[in-house]
Amino acid sequence: MFSNLFGERSNGAFRTRFAHLMAAILLLLSSGLLSAARAEAYRVVPGDVLSITVYGNQDLTGVFPVSADGTIGYPILGNVTVTEATPTEIADRIGKSLSQHLANLSVAVTVKEYAPVFVVGDIQKAGKFEFRPGMIMLELFALAGGLRQASSQTDTAGMQLVTARQEYEDMGLQLLSLDVRRTRFEAEYNDKTFDYNFDPAMGLTDATSAQRIIQSERNIFDLRRAGVDEQRRSLETQRQNFIEEIASLEKSSELRGQEYQLLQQDVDASRGLFERGVTSESALREKKREMLAMNRNTVEAGSFLARAKQNRDLIDQKLQDLQGERRNDAAKGLGDISLEILRLRKKMEFSLQKMAEISASAGRAATLEQSMKTVFSTVRLVDGQYKETVVEEHTPIRAGDIVRVKLMPIAETMTSSVN
């Protein structure tokens, strides 16, 4: 089974079986159906932490770590050897020893913390992991994320290829966006209607996003054009108001001129009557004051007329500038976009080359993967010395074990087996 899973394997079938296996293992870990039975059969190792409860004497109750020599420091009894014994056996051992000093005591022992297990080698997440009674090699392998190298090289190349294709698709949408914007600028520069026909031959798979890009630029064009039209209408309305004001002031000035002539005749007549003594000098002065007031009104009216003509000329200039500004903005946008489109096309060419290289790399990794096999081994403290032993995927793990995962050519594993 081990060789079927980790030896000669095809990419799709292996990943599917391994994913199902990992899911089943993790589900088993979370269920906790076998926890009680496994904990009962568990034998203590260095690094564990024991919780000892003595009913009838709280001073003897506490938490005791197991040292490297397999003992705990316990009140009254001193160093007590606990390794290779179950919690029940340890409770019986401590209870019998205490009975020589104190009567009527009941002792219970549980493992509060298990010594962690460690994983090293060709796996995704090397490091320390929590131990569970009954854990087998495959469970720990799943927790460590699976293989890091040969099998993951194919997966990595596949993910890189997917990413590269997505980047290429994104660049295609960017290119479409720039091309649609260029069309909008051209329509604004030439004061024409915006119209863009999407070409499916561009190779974009996300046609919905493409249509959204086109509609977005169309909305911008309509808003900008509506804004310009609104400004133009406002300026033309102001211009018409100033034209009407100018006409009114010119007509008023004409009437004022006629009135001035009549007033001048009245002043001349009053001067003649005064010289003949027919009228008083005060009457002549009154006529002159009326004439001065008329002159002042004429000057003010001329100032109003000049200001109205100046405002009309300013509006005419704004109308000319309005169209000019729109054309200038569009021309600048066209210049910038041309350079961006050129750069993006170069990036897309490079992206195509990159995808071709990734595909070739994935093929080489798949070939290598088919000739590799995963080998498990445990490094365990035996009789005071660490010994490394090759194990299978269903081999039980002990707390404190160091697990090594190696990816080796099948030929080497066969040679090792023969030896």
**pTM to 2 decimal places:** 0.42
Tell me, what's the pLDDT at 200? Answer: 62
Exposed, middle or buried: residue 230 (CB in 10 Å: 0-12, 13-18, 19+)? exposed
**pLDDT tens digits, one per residue of 194-215:** 888 776 655 566 778 788 888 8
How far is the C-alpha of 322 from the C-alpha of 191, rounded, in Å? 12
Tell me, what's the pLDDT at 119? Answer: 95
How far is the C-alpha of 405 from the C-alpha of 31, rounded, in Å? 26
Q: Could you tell me the sign of the dihedral formed by the alpha carbons of 181, 187, 188, 194, in that order? A: negative
Tell me, what's the pLDDT at 6? Answer: 41
**pLDDT tens digits, one per residue of 145-167:** 888 754 455 566 667 777 877 78
Long-range contacts, 315-319 (Cβ 8 Å, 24+): 315/235, 315/238, 315/239, 315/242, 316/239, 318/235, 319/232, 319/235, 319/236, 319/239
Tell me, what's the pLDDT at 9? Answer: 43
How far is the C-alpha of 352 from the C-alpha of 401, rounded, in Å? 48
CA distances from 342 to 165, 187, 203, 335 (A): 20, 21, 18, 11
Tell me, what's the pLDDT at 276? Answer: 82
Neighbours of 132 (CB within 10 A): 20
| C-beta of residue 179 within 8 angstroms of C-beta of residue 341 | yes
- Is the domain 155-370 a CATH 1.10.287 member? yes
pLDDT tens series, the chain, 419 aa: 334 434 444 444 445 445 544 544 444 444 444 444 555 578 999 999 999 999 988 889 999 999 988 999 999 999 999 999 999 999 999 999 999 988 888 999 999 999 999 999 988 899 999 998 889 999 999 998 888 754 455 566 667 777 877 788 888 888 888 888 888 888 888 888 888 877 665 556 677 878 888 888 889 888 888 888 888 899 999 989 989 988 988 888 888 888 888 888 888 888 888 788 777 778 778 878 888 888 888 888 888 888 988 999 998 888 888 878 888 888 888 888 888 888 888 888 888 888 888 777 766 666 555 667 889 999 987 777 889 999 998 999 999 999 999 887 765 554 554 34
How far is the C-alpha of 306 from the C-alpha of 303, rounded, in Å? 5
CA atoms within 13 A on the CB side of 362: 17
Domain spanning 35-114, CATH class: alpha beta
Secondary structure, 3-state, the chain: CHHHHHCCCCHHHHHHHHHHHHHHHHHHHHHCCCHHHHHHHCCCCCCCEEEEEEECCHHHCEEEECCCCCEEEECCCEEEECCCCCHHHHHHHHHHHHHCCCCCCEEEEEEEECCCEEEEECECCCEEECCCCCCEHHHHHHHCCCECCHHHHHHHHHHHHHHHHHHHHHHHHHHHHHHHHHHHHHHHHCCCCCCCCCCHHHCCCCHHHHHHHHHHHHHHHHHHHHHHHHHHHHHHHHHHHHHHHHHHHHHHHHHHHHHHHHHHHHHHHHHHHHHCCCCCHHHHHHHHHHHHHHHHHHHHHHHHHHHHHHHHHHHHHHHHHHHHHHHHHHHHHHHHHHHHHHHHHHHHHHHHHHHHHHHHHHHHHHHHHHCEEEEEEEEEEECCEEEEEEECCCCECCCCCEEEEEEEEHHHHHHHHHC
Tell me, what's the pLDDT at 384? Answer: 74
